[in-house]
Structure 1
Amino acid sequence: MNPRWQKLLLEYLEALAVALVLAFVIRTFVVQAFKIPSGSMLDTLLIGDHLLVNKFLYGTHIPFTDKVVLPLEEPQRSDVIVFEFPEDTTKDFIKRIIGVPGDVVEMKDKVLTRNGETLVEPYIKHTDSGLQQRRDNFGPITVPAGKYFVMGDNRDESYDSRFWGFVDKDKIRGKAWMIYWSWDGPSDIRLGRIGRMVR
């Protein structure tokens, strides 16, 4: 091979290797893309929203372990988080934190209270006027240390802590940060949602 072409090829391979390492580091420690596959967070998040998830805010996960280092802050009430689904750790779920460790959470006829106070939740959606015992009435439940109680904003159509329990802190992947793309198919790109912060 021509030495000039050989040098050029090596430079390209070197640049590719650096890019792959950077991509791995960014995805592992800084930010990760996440797509909304279901309607459990309507109307806050729509099916087809693509999010960036801040992975370092709650601390950096050491790869292939549950160990977390250098947390900037603790997960807060009302944070929208991505986490390993407790019933199938190969799947990631996205929900809103309702209760942090020590909180007492209760729901009566769809009305949610935390530590005895009724929550004002402008983000929630109800699609079913009927009542179901487990879905619309539960508690009081005290959130244990190191765990979080989470619920979807689309309360009547969310499979969440009401059904499968708490999220372990070390299973939280990160905080939903920003919508970078949104569509309901190629003919329906939702430009108005692109760049919107997740709240």
Structure 2
Amino acid sequence: MHINFPLILVIAVAVAGLLALLDLVWLAPRRRRVIAAYQAQVDTPDPQTLERLDKEPLLVEYGKSFFPVLAVVLILRSFLVEPFQIPSGSMKPTLEVGDFILVNKFAYGIRLPVVDTKVFDVGDPQRGDVMVFRYPNEPRINYIKRVIGLPGDHIRYADKQLYVNGEPVPRDLMRTEPDDEVPPGHPLQSLAKVDIYEEYLEDSAHLIRHKRLSQPARPQEWLVPEGHYFMIGDNRDNSNDSRYWQSDQMPRELWGMVPDNYIVGKAFAVWMHWPEPKLSNLPSFSSISLIH
């Protein structure tokens, strides 16, 4: 079950705002009239009686108290910056499981909360951006991958080499290390290695990861349609992205490319690492960094 937090937040703001408006328009003037009538009937008004007559209903008091806080959270989260947690290793080594990231919500345009309709255009995704988007097969779930193909691009992936518009994307081998995704005790654990490359995608330089033991998939190529983006994870051999078939049971379904109206925002910073949120395992702030 996926909780629609934006919808809950919008409803909470609306309810709190209506309670505050109700008090402003009807309840507060009514209290003032009652107080004025009481003061006209007595020579020396009792302070405790005045306080009781002027007391707001508890629900209204809570609504008025929470409304500005909820409204600020809604504005920040919907139009400026939203936090996310990385649940999988599909973006390793750029992002690790348990990283808490910040996402710029206005980098690609101002969108209305809940309905995600763009109302003001700011910019478009660029090759190399790390982007959060709604998973096309289940829009309630957020995914994060790297933008590889823009509308009109021709993308090819063959023998673990990425090509954009016919040109191989340059990369340099940086290091080789043990594959930490192989379970302990696995017969191939000692042989499982990953190559870490620095890949250069136009002005973007970022790290990617290839498993040495995994076999290259058959060569594939795609043409990115208008209004869509081709997304790939930096963990190239362990990422469900625009390259692959996705299947629960049957039939198989290709989720393919990400339409513009499913874009959430641009990831720009890691602000905390907490792989297992619990009191016995405190978060780490040593990995605070910008996302490239």
Residue 193 (str. 1) matches residue 284 (str. 2): no
| Alpha-carbon shift at residue 70 of structure 1 (Å) | 1.9
- Report the counterpart of residue 240 of structure 2 in structure 1: 159
CA distance in 2, matches of 1:13, 1:143: 48
- Report the counterpart of residue 108 of structure 2 in structure 1: 58
Q: 2:269 aligns with which of 166, 172, 178?
A: 178
Q: Look up the SS of the partner of 2:71 in the other structure.
A: helix
CA distance in 2, matches of 1:159, 1:149: 12
The one of the two structures with greater contact order (alpha-carbon pairs below 8 A, sep at least 6) is 1
- Return closer, same or farther for 1:12/1:188 CA change in 2, 3 Å cut-off: closer
Which residue identity lines up with residue 167 of structure 1 in the other structure? Answer: V
- Report the counterpart of residue 147 of structure 2 in structure 1: 97
Q: Which runs of 5+ in 1 are unaligned?
A: none
Q: 1:131 aligns with which of 215, 229, 237?
A: 215
Aligned length: 194
**Percent identity (aligned):** 40
- Return closer, same or farther for 1:142/1:30 CA change in 2, 3 Å cut-off: same
- Return closer, same or farther for 1:84/1:124 CA change in 2, 3 Å cut-off: same
Q: Look up the SS of the partner of 1:162 in the other structure.
A: coil
CA distance in 1, matches of 2:213, 2:220: 17
Moved more, 101-110 or 10-19: 10-19
Q: Output aligned runs, 1:69-108, within 5 Å.
A: 69-108=119-158
Q: Aligned Cα RMSD in Å?
A: 2.2
Q: Look up the SS of the partner of 1:192 in the other structure.
A: coil
| Alpha-carbon shift at residue 123 of structure 1 (Å) | 1.1
- Report the counterpart of residue 66 of structure 2 in structure 1: 16
Normalising by structure 1, what TM-score? Answer: 0.88
Q: Is residue 148–residue 231 contact of structure 2 (8 Å, CA) maintained in 1?
A: yes
Q: Look up the SS of the partner of 1:157 in the other structure.
A: coil
Moved more, 41-50 or 111-120: 111-120
Q: Is residue 111–residue 120 contact of structure 2 (8 Å, CA) maintained in 1?
A: no
| Alpha-carbon shift at residue 11 of structure 1 (Å) | 7.2
Which residue identity lines up with residue 89 of structure 1 in the other structure? Answer: P
Q: Which runs of 5+ in 2 are unaligned?
A: 1-47, 171-198, 200-205, 245-254
Residue 147 (str. 1) matches residue 241 (str. 2): no
- Report the counterpart of residue 118 of structure 2 in structure 1: 68
Q: Look up the SS of the partner of 2:286 in the other structure.
A: helix
Deviation digits for residues 125-172 of structure 1 (CA, Å, limit 9, x no counterpart) = 0124332435xx211x11110000000000000000002310001100
Q: Look up the SS of the partner of 1:89 in the other structure.
A: coil
Residue 26 (str. 1) matches residue 76 (str. 2): yes
Q: Is residue 228–residue 257 contact of structure 2 (8 Å, CA) maintained in 1?
A: yes
Which residue identity lines up with residue 176 of structure 1 in the other structure? Answer: A
Which residue identity lines up with residue 162 of structure 2 in the other structure? Answer: L
| Alpha-carbon shift at residue 198 of structure 1 (Å) | 1.1
Q: Is residue 92–residue 209 contact of structure 2 (8 Å, CA) maintained in 1?
A: yes
| Alpha-carbon shift at residue 60 of structure 1 (Å) | 1.3
Q: Is residue 57–residue 71 contact of structure 1 (8 Å, CA) maintained in 2?
A: no
Q: Look up the SS of the partner of 1:144 in the other structure.
A: coil
Q: Is residue 128–residue 156 contact of structure 1 (8 Å, CA) maintained in 2?
A: no
- Return closer, same or farther for 1:19/1:158 CA change in 2, 3 Å cut-off: same
Q: Determine which structure has more spread, i.e. the larger CA radius of gyration.
A: 2
